[in-house]
Chains A and B, each alone.
Chain A
Amino acid sequence: MAIDLTVNGTPQRVEADPDTPLLYVLRDDLGLNGAKFGCGLGQCGACTVMVDGRAVLSCVTPVLLMQGRAVTTVEGLGTAEAPGPMQRAFIEEQAAQCGYCIPGMMMRAQALLQERPDADDAAIRRALEFNLCRCGTHMRILRAIRRAADTMRHAETAAPNGRAG
């Protein structure tokens, strides 16, 4: 079936079986490889993207549900040349080791901060509970998210990519 959706601000029409996971559509049909396949069961968070501003596990989300919805992937937060506040913060804190979980971490954190710009440490930890990292850079990830929150709060006008999806 044909599904019309917006991905990172661009309208897209994809042809796919209705039960195709959103993750496959993003990676295979649209060439957006930011979101990762981790467990395929919605339990590790590596596939997290934003749909209409909320964190969603794209590996257990059938594309059927995406008709008319706005999807944001890590590619929508900025570019290598002009990284957005969340991406800059992760670079500055060197929060990635192998990096496999990081796009999911960034998208979960982005969704949280867009809804609650003043999210405290407890709220950040609670939101990130569903995203697993096996390298163990948790403390850096937390620092990066605090830094991003700071940047987004104080320089929202100067950072056009601060808001997405």
Chain B
Amino acid sequence: MGRRKTRRNSIGRGLIGGAAVILALGAGAVAWAWESAIPPQPRPAAESFPAELVAEGARLAAVGNCIACHTVPGGRSFAGGLALPTPFGTIHSTNITPDEDTGIGRWSEAAFTRAMRRGVDRDGRHLYPAFPYDHYTRVSDADNRALYAYLMTRTPVRAEAPANHLPFPLNIRMAVAGWKLLYFREGAFTPDPAKPEVWNRGAYLAEGLGHCGACHSPRNALGAVDKDRAWAGGEAEGWTAYPIDQDSPAPVPWTADSLTFYLRHGWHPAHGVSRGPMAEVTGNLVGLPDADVAAIGAYVADRMGPPSAERLRRGEDLRALVSRRTADAGAPPGAGPTAADSQARPPAADSGRTGGDERGEAIYRTACATCHESGRPLPFGGLPFALSTAVNAANPQNIVNVTLFGLPPGDGTVSAVMPAFGGALTDADMVALLRYLRGRFSDQPPWDGLERLVADTRSGAHHVAVRPADGIERAPQNVGAAD
């Protein structure tokens, strides 16, 4: 009896002691995670910001692609409210116009810089890492000052973002502090003195505001970028973001020059046009000086590393083959054959491969080759598939997206365009076509799970944001998916 009591007491003491330790740990965690509010201030007058600073901020905001997430399609710029689906629930972007009640009008520059550097809002609440502060932490104080000037001189819009839909405990902001403890390292960019200035400029833009790695890297189960495999390829809004490291699947290896051209113009003759979320990125870079675009190109090319002699030679062979075929096609610029007027060209014997799928080959010859083998130059002609990164990538998601939903043209501008074939092609036809493209235009092993991938993309179970070629202000617009 006495013994039992003693034991119970000791259990009780243990429980109390344990609770005290947990409480202490919890209090410690809260103290560590606690961020104070930064007092509100009256909205600074737009005239108080020098025009050059605002202009610099505009260029930087374009590099950051802020508008993509902070604008609802067809809505007011930077007013937030866009639903961002994540594997954990739906987060809504916030209003970053200088409205005093619903935007950041009463934020001081210090509050803005803290949000960029540490992912904390003016009230001291931790921000969800859908806001890529794991990249923005590298932005310099001077650039944050310019970004602040730009945003504070936008038109204030009164707009409250809808509530987020996140399960417990993710709906507790303190939980984000735990995430930060695991995955977030605060720190401004430090240049590498051993590297040339252009490399450092490119690294600063690409790793910081440009946040290339946010899409082009794999993420772990908690949504954090896998730092050991940064730039090894990821996913964005239903599109595959290809590896942009040494494992780039581009048939013709990228160079600093071709990357610069692609980022500058949104297309490249040996690589095709940017589409999906990347169309918005290249669209945004229009306002950036050539030198900055070239710096990003140089840095990315260096990250990819020099291609092997074998890969280089194959790339050269491909380019020669394609330019020979273009010359053979003899299409004068601007006089591309019309699909309804021209007979499909039989595929040129390039690889000796046949693709091995008769139905797929018939579809390719009759529906695809009319543009993709027409010899009409990019960006208005179709890319020869021998040059296609998509055909050589680990999965065909981007081909499926483009084929089913097309590439909508930009508004009021000459742009790349492709008609949607979702209504004409059955799922079985789509699968046959993919098998053929992979077999004929790539030496990679066949893709798996095509039936499921095609069906889910069509039904919207796999959600795809379809954007027009110029998609700057329109953000994701689902013009094709059944949902």
Question: Which chain A residues have a beta carbon within 8 Å of chain B's beta carbons?
Answer: 17-19, 21, 23-24, 37, 39-43, 47, 50-52, 54-57, 59-62, 64-65, 111, 115, 122, 126-127, 129-130
Q: List residues of chain A with CB within 8 A of the CB of B367.
A: 60-62, 64-65
A interface footprint on B359-370 (CB within 8 Å = 1, 0 otherwise): 000110111001
Contact status B339-A65, CB under 8 Å: no
| Closest residue on chain B to residue A24 by CB atoms | B340
**Which of A41, A126, A129, A130 has the most B CB atoms < 10 Å from its CB?**
A41
Choose among B343, B362, B363, B419 the residue that contacts A60 (Cβ–Cβ < 8 A): B419
B98 within 8 A of A: no
Choose among B365, B371, B479 the residue that contacts A126 (Cβ–Cβ < 8 A): B479
A127 to B421, CA, bound (A): 15
A64 to B339, CA, bound (A): 14
Q: Which of B327-354 contact A (CB under 8 A)?
A: 336, 338-341, 343-344
A69 to B387, CA, bound (A): 33
Contact status B424-A40, CB under 8 Å: no
Choose among B338, B420, B429, B479 the residue that contacts A65 (Cβ–Cβ < 8 A): B429
Contact status A126-B477, CB under 8 Å: yes
B74 within 8 A of A: yes
Contact status B408-A40, CB under 8 Å: no
On chain B, the number of residues with a Cβ less than 8 Å from chain A's Cβ atoms is 31
Given contacts A19-B366, A126-B477, A130-B408, contact A40 B340 (CB under 8 A): yes
Q: List residues of chain A with CB within 8 A of the CB of B188.
A: none
Question: Which chain B residues have a beta carbon within 8 Å of chain A's beta carbons?
Answer: 74, 336, 338-341, 343-344, 362-363, 365-367, 370-371, 408-409, 417-426, 429, 477, 479, 482
B358 to chain A, nearest CB (A): 12
How many residue pairs link A and B with beta carbons under 8 A? The number is: 80
Given contacts A43-B417, A65-B363, A129-B408, contact A56 B340 (CB under 8 A): no
A50 to B422, CA, bound (A): 12
| Closest residue on chain A to residue B367 by CB atoms | A62
Question: Do most interface residues of chain A lie in helix, strand or loop, or is the interface mixed?
Answer: mixed
Question: Do most interface residues of chain B lie in helix, strand or loop, or is the interface mixed?
Answer: loop
A38 to chain B, nearest CB (A): 10
Contact status B366-A64, CB under 8 Å: yes
A122 to B477, CA, bound (A): 11
Contact status B363-A64, CB under 8 Å: yes
Contact status A18-B362, CB under 8 Å: yes
Contact status A54-B479, CB under 8 Å: no
A129 to B408, CA, bound (A): 9
Can you identify 11 A-B contacts, CB atoms within 8 angstroms? A19-B344, A40-B338, A43-B417, A57-B419, A59-B340, A60-B340, A62-B344, A62-B363, A64-B366, A122-B74, A126-B477
Contact status A40-B339, CB under 8 Å: yes
A64 to B341, CA, bound (A): 16
A125 to chain B, nearest CB (A): 10
A43 to B366, CA, bound (A): 18
Contact status B339-A42, CB under 8 Å: yes
A102 to chain B, nearest CB (A): 20
| Closest residue on chain B to residue A122 by CB atoms | B74
Q: A42-B339, A126-B477 are in contact. List 18 more A-B contacts (CB 8 A).
A: A17-B343, A19-B343, A23-B340, A41-B338, A43-B409, A51-B423, A51-B424, A52-B423, A59-B338, A60-B421, A61-B367, A61-B421, A61-B424, A64-B363, A64-B367, A65-B363, A65-B425, A127-B479
A139 to B429, CA, bound (A): 38
Contact status B423-A56, CB under 8 Å: yes
B209 to chain A, nearest CB (A): 31
A61 to B426, CA, bound (A): 12
A108 to B365, CA, bound (A): 27
Contact status A39-B408, CB under 8 Å: no
Contact status A65-B424, CB under 8 Å: yes
B109 to chain A, nearest CB (A): 38
Q: List residues of chain A with CB within 8 A of the CB of B366.
A: 18-19, 62, 64-65
Q: List residues of chain B with CB within 8 A of the CB of A51.
A: 423-424
Given contacts A19-B366, A64-B362, A64-B363, contact A59 B423 (CB under 8 A): no
Q: List residues of chain A with CB within 8 A of the CB of B340.
A: 21, 23-24, 37, 40, 47, 59-60
Q: List residues of chain B with CB within 8 A of the CB of A129.
A: 408, 479
Q: List residues of chain B with CB within 8 A of the CB of A47.
A: 340
A115 to B480, CA, bound (A): 12
A65 to B370, CA, bound (A): 15
